[in-house]
Amino acid sequence: MASKAIHAYYDDDDVLMLAVKKVKAAKHHIEEVYCPFPVHGLDKAMGLAPTRIAITSFLYGCVGLTVATLMMNYIMIEDWPQDIGGKPSFSYLENMPAFVPIMFELTVFFAAHLMVITFYLRSRLWPFKDAENPDPRTTDDHFLMEIDIHDNEKELRDLLLDTGAVEINIVEKNSH
């Protein structure tokens, strides 16, 4: 089933922010906003829920710290204990101050790499994926606001022109 959407183009991020606030105040649902760069505060203006990705970052860091601790205990204490720099290898706790840099590095390594993988999977980005961008200008210098039309085309067009849109197009959307 095909439905209609209106694409409003803006050439300034401040004008876009004011437009999003006016459209939300008029009780219209903004389907998506495409921007060439991140616009600070746009997620709050659109009313998007906060992300929980920081929680996963903490959990991935904990996994990295656990792997580092277990790895160093096995390698340096159980499997092949060595007297390095006068530090005896009787227990992990006695040697832990020397292992802090390794624990820190593996915590950051696991958090960073697993966060990138999580972001790509969550965003459904993978190699050779076709772009979902409706207009290539939004990767250069234009901002696009997409709103579904529900028998309110004239009202939406007038509202968007009032908000400072430089171009307005009606497009057919295909439902998947």
* DSSP alpha helix (H) spans, the chain: 13-25, 42-46, 53-72, 92-122, 153-162
Which residues, 6 or more positions from 35, have their beta carbon under 8 angstroms from its beta carbon?
A: 13, 16, 42, 138, 143
Does the structure show a pLDDT above 80 at 83? no
| pLDDT of 164 higher than 80 | yes
- Does the structure show a pLDDT above 80 at 87? no
| pLDDT tens-digit readout, 22-81 | 999 999 999 999 999 999 999 999 999 988 889 999 999 999 999 999 999 998 888 888
Which range is most confident: 44-48, 95-99, 170-174?
A: 44-48
Most confident of 84-93, 106-115, 124-133, 163-172: 106-115
Predicted pLDDT at 169 = 92
- pLDDT band at 96; cut points 50, 70, 90: confident
* Distance, CA of 58 to CA of 27 (rounded, Å): 37
Q: What values do phi and psi take at 84, rounded to 5?
A: -110, 120
**What's the pLDDT score for residue 173?**
80
- DSSP SS3 for 11: coil
What is the location of CATH 3.30.70.260 in the chain? 2-36+141-174
Give the pLDDT band (50/70/90) at residue 16.
very high
Q: Which CATH class, in words, describes the domain spanning 2-36+141-174?
A: alpha beta
The predicted-structure confidence for 44-58, as pLDDT tens digits, reads as follows 999 999 888 899 999
- Give me the pLDDT at residue 79, please: 86
Q: Which H or E run includes 3?
A: strand 2-10
Residue among 32, 33, 27, 30 nearest 10 (CA): 33
Query: For residue range 125-158, what is the model confidence (pLDDT) as tens digits?
Result: 888 888 888 899 999 999 999 999 988 888 999 9
Q: What pLDDT sits at residue 92?
A: 83
